[in-house]
Amino acid sequence: MRYWKYMKIIFLVLLSAIIVTLTVQKVPYDQFKYLMNNSLVEHLLHEEPCACGKHCLAASDDNWFSERFRDHVHPLLSLNNSVLSDNIFNWWKTLQSTKSKANYSQVIQKLFSVIPGEDRYRDVGPSRCRTCAVVGNSGNLVGSFYGPLIDNHDFVMRMNKAPVEGYEKDVGNKTTHRFFYPESAIHLDNNTHLVVLPFKLLDIQWITSALSDGSVKRTRFKVIDKLQTNKDMVMIMHPAFIYYVRTTWLHLRRSYPSTGFLVLMFALHICDEVSVFGFGANTKGAWHHYFEEMPKKFRRTGKHPGGLEHQIILELQKRNLIDLYAGW
Ligand SMILES: *[C@@H]1O[C@H](CO)[C@@H](O)[C@H](O)[C@H]1NC(C)=O
Ligand SMILES: *[C@@H]1O[C@H](CO)[C@@H](O)[C@H](O)[C@H]1NC(C)=O
Ligand SMILES: *[C@@H]1O[C@H](CO)[C@@H](O)[C@H](O)[C@H]1NC(C)=O
Ligand SMILES: *[C@@H]1O[C@H](CO)[C@@H](O)[C@H](O)[C@H]1NC(C)=O
């Protein structure tokens, strides 16, 4: 209480001193105002878009980035935003190999009777600094000793069946989010968020069923029918988000982005700082998974546009928008 009184007095004395000095020096009022506006006041009142020291992703003023980044395209499906525009719905239907007769709005309604329908991660603001590690599955992680560095992020995002056990020193031991589709699903512990990538309506029917009656046993082939995971932590990537990544970032007409690229884009949208591990080839030029033997003959990327996706990742790095750890 007492301190406040003293602080106030000191502040008033200082202010008077400044005014007296300025008057004696005959600094014109305009200049005085200018001084106050541009340094002191600005410094005291200006709010940073996020609380990270370095930079805040969504607020980046990089031109190349802002031509592509669409702040308003939310990466997750919620009760509030599940309606799809016709062109997105029609594109999404072309990905499905089976002619599904299911009614989209009924499928969604059923989904959100099993998992929460709330809107998450819309908390960007001056008090948030969320750091995220996106961990791909590349063999360039082998021998990297990135484990502790990866675990040091708020969110650690992994994909598909990538194991942690036995690889901790290179890939870390923490997983806050795991991304997969039905055909690449694994059981999770109950502290991990699951983000399902729906490439077809059946994928949404699968997760609904896998968390309830287990009636969906096949998609493109036999899949896990009863999934162990914490229902309250399950989320679905928005089909409109996949569409946006495909069109705005990759300019694709056919096909869809790779899982790794979708996870990276997800991170760019919900995090303030993003570090990227385990993407691309290893230093020998081999593309393989860190949990598999390096092949004798090196594999090239197939269906996914690995080339363009990789170029974009390098560009993001060059523009200081992500920290890319190239591995070994
Ligand atoms: C889907 O179901 C809703 C009611 O749940 C109904 O209003 C709508 O017409 C149905 N759509 C189609 C294409 O059958
Ligand atoms: C849906 O949006 C409204 C207003 O935008 C909000 O009040 C409501 O909480 C939201 N519901 C969910 C489930 O997120
Ligand atoms: C994860 O690794 C850290 C060291 O990097 C260790 O302190 C921690 O106990 C490990 N946690 C688990 C659950 O193994
Ligand atoms: C989480 O899982 C463990 C074992 O897998 C179980 O013992 C525990 O009760 C679960 N906790 C909750 C909140 O479901």
Residue 308, CB-side half-sphere exposure with 13 Å CA sphere: 15
**What's the gap in Å between 124 CA and the centre of ligand 1?**
35
Domain boundaries, the chain: 4-46, 58-325
> What is the pTM for the complete model shown?
0.83
pLDDT, tens digit (0-9, with 9 covering 90-100), for 31-84: 655 555 555 555 555 567 899 877 788 888 899 999 999 999 999 999 999 999
Task: Tell me the C-alpha distance between 186 and 178, whole Å.
Answer: 10
**What's the gap in Å between 238 CA and the centre of ligand 4?**
28
- Give the Å distances, CA to CA, from 19 to 8, 9, 28: 16, 15, 11
As for ligand 1, residues whose beta carbon falls within 6 Å of it are 103, 105-106
pLDDT at 179 over 80: yes
> N- to C-terminal Cα distance for the chain?
58
Helices (H), 25-172: 29-35, 42-45, 63-68, 86-94, 104-114, 147-151, 168-171
Letter for the amino acid at 192? T
Coil, strand or helix at 273? strand
**What's the gap in Å between 231 CA and the centre of ligand 2?**
20
Chain centre distance of CA 279 = 15
DSSP one-letter code for 44: H
Identify the residue whose C-alpha is closest to ligand 3 atom 12: 173
Residues noted as catalytic: 256, 304
Q: In the CATH hierarchy, which fold is given to the domain comprising 58-325?
A: sialyltransferase cstii, chain A (3.90.1480)
- pLDDT grade for 282, boundaries at 50, 70 and 90: confident
In this structure, which ligand is nearest to the CA of 81?
Answer: 2
Mark 86-118 as b/e (b = at least 16 C-beta within 10 Å).
eebeebbeebeeeeeeeebeebbeebbebbebe
pLDDT, tens digit (0-9, with 9 covering 90-100), for 98-143: 667 889 999 999 999 999 999 999 888 888 999 999 999 999 999 9
pLDDT at 1 over 50: no
